[in-house]
Amino acid sequence: MIIDGKKIAEEIESEIQQEIQKLKGRRPGLAVILVGDHPPSHIYVNKKIEACHKVGIHSVKRQFPNDITEEKLLIELQKLNRDPHVDGILVQLPLPKQINPITIIQSITPEKDVDGLHPINVGKLFSGDTSGFVSCTPLGIKTLLERAGINVQGKRVLVLGRSNLVGKPVAALLMQNADGANATVTVAHSLSKNIPELCRSSDIIISAMGNPKFITLEMVKEGTVIIDVGIIKIDDPTLNKGYRIVGDVDFDAVKDKCSFITPVPGGVGPMTIAMLLSNTLKSFLNKIDRDAKQTR
């Protein structure tokens, strides 16, 4: 069965929209920072801004040239940290070479880090403290599995890729002692030995490698669940636009062997955006709670 991530994301966005419509006063606000001219980042950021607009989140897009200094960017982030209309701050990655992403991420106040990348939020995830923010793609994957009715408890989950954005946090999230988790997680990466064998012995494969059609029919056992996080643009002169977007999985070859599989596009991608909106609403509600406690 093909998991329709777009439809599930739309359902979640409609739930968020209804919650926001019930709010009185200020609306939740998200600031998105885009540095330089990395074309996919422009597309992703525009999708995030569009989604905010759809559900009623106030969004600010701050765009900076490729040669902005780290100091200037840090000053901008300090302003957003203090801005009472901004509940969430997201710095789109990758950043240009002169800017250290670790310094930038650590300068965002953890209460507004809706991307869940600040060490405080990463630490909360690893220690099972649910008050923090979990990064959007891992949270989207967990939500997608839950809404598709796939129970990961006790299952052998293979995560391919060890990035801070996807591989590491999704492994932490699914191995937790918590509802919707309790999986037996293996993390493999580019230097792992015998990935085909690891794939064949897994119940669920979450692939976040960015390697087109890496997962082939021989690597998949009957009934496996595949979550494809890869998004790769490949040339295709037969199409008007001249390219196609594909994932890490040879979708057409393996789809009939899987019990569930996510397509690319239309699988995990829309869920990442829905989770960003959900985290922004969570941050807004946290702020209302903190303000109410202060005035008590």
**Cβ closest to ligand GUN, residue 166 vs residue 281:** 166
Residues that bind ligand GUN (CB under 6 A): 90-93, 115, 136-137, 165, 272
Contact 76/87 with Cβ under 8 angstroms? no
User: Minimal distance in Å, beta carbon 277 to ligand GUN?
Assistant: 13
Q: Which residues does the annotation mark as catalytic?
A: 48, 92, 115
**Cβ closest to ligand GUN, residue 52 vs residue 165:** 165
Nearby residues of 238 by Cβ (< 8 Å), 6 or more positions away: none
**Cβ closest to ligand GUN, residue 133 vs residue 258:** 133
Contact 273/139 with Cβ under 8 angstroms? no
Nearest CA to 29 among 232, 284, 294?
A: 284
User: Minimal distance in Å, beta carbon 117 to ligand GUN?
Assistant: 7
User: Minimal distance in Å, beta carbon 93 to ligand GUN?
Assistant: 4
Structure tokens at 14: 């409609």
- Give yes or no for a cis peptide into 237 (omega within 30° of 0): no
User: Minimal distance in Å, beta carbon 90 to ligand GUN?
Assistant: 5
Question: For residue 51, what is the enclosing H or E element?
Answer: helix 39-55
Structure tokens at 112: 């507004």
**Cβ closest to ligand GUN, residue 169 vs residue 263:** 169
